[in-house]
């Protein structure tokens, strides 16, 4: 078990599955903006049929909140990607705490670089959680790479969490929105393949 000298506050939990009720550690301050339990529960109600035995990518993972929830509910493996050392330490702490080490892969790197590496290895994902910092212009570039390099599995989905004022619609060739929900200022847009790539 790794130990850190951060000052923690616990405000989130695993909602369902074999790790139900276990707490997720989050840091004080605004550097990391984890998905709230209310929004997370809504997301997983929508995507419940996609989770079993899935390969999950939690991009901009932050605390690992979404990937860990997916593992608890029956996903086979989750990749946690973030460029922040603070986030990496939190993710490791949470994976240890919830005992999901064997099904977790953690890498500290930039999101677009990670997507390029996955494409070069031929890695495809059934579920991609895409929740970058708001207002940084990262959503469309990531979506375009996922589409152009076909990182999403044939029947896979992309779950995008974004500010309602942030534009993510683009002239995608293959991706389409099949569900959108608004929770306060937070929008959840779920994409899937519109046709064969």
Q: What pLDDT is stored for residue 34 in this prediction?
A: 67
- The Cα–Cα gap between 89 and 43 comes to 25
* Domains delineated in the chain: 33-193 (3.40.50.150)
Q: What pLDDT is stored for residue 2 in this prediction?
A: 42
Q: In which region does residue 35 sit, left (phi positive, over 0), alpha (psi from -120 to 50) or beta (all else)?
A: beta
- pLDDT higher than threshold 80 for residue 157: yes
User: What is the model's pTM?
Assistant: 0.89
8 pLDDT band (50/70/90 cuts)? very low
For the ranges 1-5, 21-25, 146-150, the lowest mean pLDDT is seen at: 1-5
Q: What is the pLDDT of residues 121-156, one digit of tens each?
A: 999 999 999 988 877 888 889 999 999 999 999 889
- The Cα–Cα gap between 79 and 56 comes to 6
Asked if 172 and 143 count as a contact pair (C-beta separation under 8 A), the reply is yes
Select from 157, 177, 124, 191 the least CA-distant residue to 48: 157
Q: What is the pLDDT of residues 34-74, one digit of tens each?
A: 677 888 898 999 999 999 999 999 999 999 999 999 999 99
Asked if 190 and 178 count as a contact pair (C-beta separation under 8 A), the reply is yes
Asked if 107 and 135 count as a contact pair (C-beta separation under 8 A), the reply is no
- pLDDT higher than threshold 90 for residue 33: no
- pLDDT higher than threshold 80 for residue 116: yes
């Amino acid at each position: 078990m790794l130990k850190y000298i951060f000052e923690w506050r616990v405000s989130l939990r695993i909602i369902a599955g074999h790790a139900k009720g276990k707490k997720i550690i989050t840091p004080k301050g605004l550097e990391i903006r984890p998905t709230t339990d209310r929004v997370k529960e809504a997301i997983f109600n929508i995507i419940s049929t996609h989770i079993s035995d899935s390969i999950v990518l939690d991009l901009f993972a932050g605390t690992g909140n979404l990937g860990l929830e997916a593992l608890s509910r029956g996903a086979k493996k989750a990749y946690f990607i973030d460029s922040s050392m603070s986030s990496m330490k939190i993710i490791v702490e949470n994976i240890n705490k919830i005992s999901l080490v064997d099904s977790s892969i953690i890498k500290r790197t930039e999101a677009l670089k990670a997507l390029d590496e996955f494409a070069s290895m031929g890695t495809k994902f059934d579920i991609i959680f895409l929740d970058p910092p708001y207002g940084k212009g990262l959503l469309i570039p990531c979506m375009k790479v996922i589409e152009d390099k076909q990182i999403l599995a044939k029947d896979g989905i992309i779950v995008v969490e974004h500010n309602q004022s942030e534009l993510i619609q683009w002239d995608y060739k293959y991706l389409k929105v099949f569900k959108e929900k608004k929770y306060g200022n937070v929008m959840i847009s779920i994409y899937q393949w519109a046709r064969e790539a």
